[in-house]
Structure 1
């Protein structure tokens, strides 16, 4: 491809060549015009003039002869005739010279004229004139003169024709010159435009080259040019600035080169490398180097960039990607990476999943800022504790209130030891600003490779153990086959529940609540049962947790409400003074349409809400106490009776308890079970009954199975008894025994 300079020179030479050719052509055309003009002026016009004079002389000669014939005065006429003859001879000689062979007949004709003249002179000069002969001679003279005239006219025509041809040739040459000049002018203009274009391009390229020439000098990044032997030929001002930044001698450019650079340069040259990129730490600065080796030029260009800020930003981003923002602990991503790494190395280890019970209560009551601080301080406590244990452990925060600890040992005793140490550490409150929180933790333990063969199943099984511990509350569970079996059954159970809703396989059984003093039935609790296609009863303890996790508890709970309301209506229609208790799940209570659904069920069944008692767990109420109180007040306004279920297992304070618009407290069966031989349980139950009496609340003891438990509760003043001692959950037809006046007997 032609260079710009070559193109410009080519254009210049082309213009010069065309100009020379056109100048030559124009010169030749001018010479031809000049020759034609000179021929016309110098030859043709004089010839015409000479012929004109010759014709005039011939005519005058003929007239003088007629005058001589008329006057016969020879002395008067003859000198004139001789003068004309002399003149004619002169003109004839010139014409002969000019026309060469074209006028050969003129001298002959003129000779005949002379003979006829002499004959006429002799006749007229004699003594006796022969006038007939004279007239004959004059007639011949006229004819001969006419012949001579014709020749002269032909010569005139020839000259005029040649003159016209010369004129046409001249016109053509002038036209050609005109078109040549115009064409050359256009060519010059086009050539000038082309040259101008290339000149403009050249100017721009020159400007770019100048700018590029200044690029190394003005580049903010350091640039060094070396010859093939490694000698530094050039360094821009940015090199000295970098030397200043790292606190090195600004006059020694080699201080910014990486260690071993010159040895590596020789090696790269021997390997015929063309481009090398590498990084080095110079002082406290991270420098990226890009080396271009140019053997054809015998030089090397080294480009440097201070990437310290970028390296720090990347390190910060990497840290943020792998660490929790609130605690600074490694996050889920790093947790999964480490687990995969350890599995790939065939290590044996345990994973301890930790979750703070009722953490939502802190965020809902104190705000997310306090919640974040709680997570932060909890992470610090776990990290400090694990450090004090001097075990090979790593602490992570996975999400929300969930932490995880990797214990680099398979021994179950070690993982339980760590879990117990963590549980014991929670005896001390967590101080968050002006608040002191006594937190309970639920923990799940899973071992590799004993309980799982990959990271996914390890995390899944660990979460299963944690979920089981959360359902128990403040406990630690180790993953085993039972949990695995329960976990495997979840999907079939979920699918079965959906089918059960369609096939109406759910039913309500009822357990009587009796007066502790009289044992008369005062109420009943509706308990859901699921009878599968094969007739077997599936325990609520199996399917209710699955329903709560999957959200099916909303549909199932709504069915329980509607069916329970219908049974309450039947009790009223049968004049049975029985208040029916219905359990409300957490998801139902928190559902935005909960109150609306209750109102619709009342309208559809026409049940009396005063004959319906809604049981709400203490832990559910305390998740968001203020919101719960608002909902409970609306339930009371609708006419429902309210009871706190499983009282004593939650964390409600007396200040909240007195605000709850409730009618009764239900003592959890965990406290009733060992009443006969556990003084602590006796004290707790006594305190609950006394508290309820002072708050003007009724008490219901559930799980009563022995006469001893009944008598103790009766003496305390407990209002109602519920349990297997008096009634197992059963269909409504077996709840009431008309034969003994509705008074169940101890079983």
Structure 2
């Protein structure tokens, strides 16, 4: 456990500081400045928290004595000062202070400052220990070298091997007999680590320059058996007393383990120990690099700052072990959502950051943030008790609202606190414009969720006109959202959102339910009425979709023949085999299946052959242009003839003029719909206008 000495003559201040720091380290309280140095020398703390103004010996004098002591000068000092005490702060910094705790004392801020410096001290100690270990290893290697424990090879002036010791034999794979008199470059196969290109042997180079040389750290020795060793070496010329160059000697050692140790140290320096995620240092480096790349590619990057809501309460009430468990669990959940190339870092106690670049992720910051919020809401079980968590997320974008890494972090932090102020469990953009857009999106999602939960989605019906009987024989169900002010919101504004959020399944189910109930209400008046309901592509991804449709139809007590399901060409492309099986199951129920918007998508005739489709709908874009474009008329004519040849019912949508109506009727089109015939109207109005007065045969 780390130790902190707190020196202050005010009991109240000592009590507050002890409360703030006691959860981080062992605390030693000193109320008399005369005892400060002896207490510090005795306890050897990791940090000293020192008040400036004390009656006997001032904090400055204590610090001077401390920094002049050979065995205590490296102990960090944090001064306690007032908010506007800039003069004292300058003096304190000149004496070697590392930080300040301002009065009145903010316990949480104090705690964070001390925690950060304790972390730095731990890391410094780790680095010192590792460096000591490396230094000890280097000394041991030097001893080994003197004892001929390293590889040693000597050559003559021609470059041929004259001596090779056992270690060199092991590393090169050549025995003494095999190596002697061979050129050294054939015995020592040296390659560049990065490029694997052959390197000039230092022993040959030292013959040329006639002085000692050393090979670069990035060299690999490949033995004759294919083993690869990271090696370090020195080479020196052999010159006799007469100054004649007789040859050279190269001494080399296997440093593979040292390299591995350095790699591990780099990882420790740049990663959080609890979660294994990149830390703030590595994150900052990656943000800087991403900004540099973005400056040239002109592509945006996003930084998400993520904070666990109410973590302090959980940590304080249940203990730090539980707190660490929560942090580790959240880290795993967040990491499972993102791609391996995306940087997720732990930047503080309960704070994470996520860096999204165009190269690493093709998903928007809002989508990632929404997924983070969703996964955090899943209860976490601690000692058999489920706890509900939530996150607050702030998002900053470069170059839209920040010019450098530091500003991105600040802006993301500001946006995160904005999310907290709005009730937590949400995300917020720093940019006002983007924030407004996302607010509208969230507002629309909220309206949609409420409408689905309240079963208040409105279904409008657009009549389908039979060209032969000249009567309305059916309708297409079109969903509408009614907001609090009674304004009708068109599906263009919320269908794509419903698909993104997964609400499309509940929405589609509710529309089908209401459509079936409407058909049931029409049964006393007509038995031939058919209603068409649109099916989204994502609904067909549900393997139980056909069973759900069957249950709804059965529950409404209507004939399956009175329901027509419309699918688009694009919906058929997602999973060909699964879609075919679902459509076959629906067809087996005697539900009519229609291909909507034919001609605008892939228009593959294989769909008409391989899927059990009954109806072909001509897209409105062709119908609207029939009056003015011969090509549009030709396409409509071809589609009608194709459908008729396949014994499919043909429906034209988007009829807006009498000439379009007459042309479609002349072509032999079966059914039509459009504003020329009638616009979509509420179910009750449709019933009164087209159903109520039908006489039962």
More strand by share: 2
More helix by share: 1
Give the TM-score normalised by structure 2: 0.45
Give the TM-score normalised by structure 1: 0.42
Bigger relative contact order (CA 8 A; separation at least 6): 1
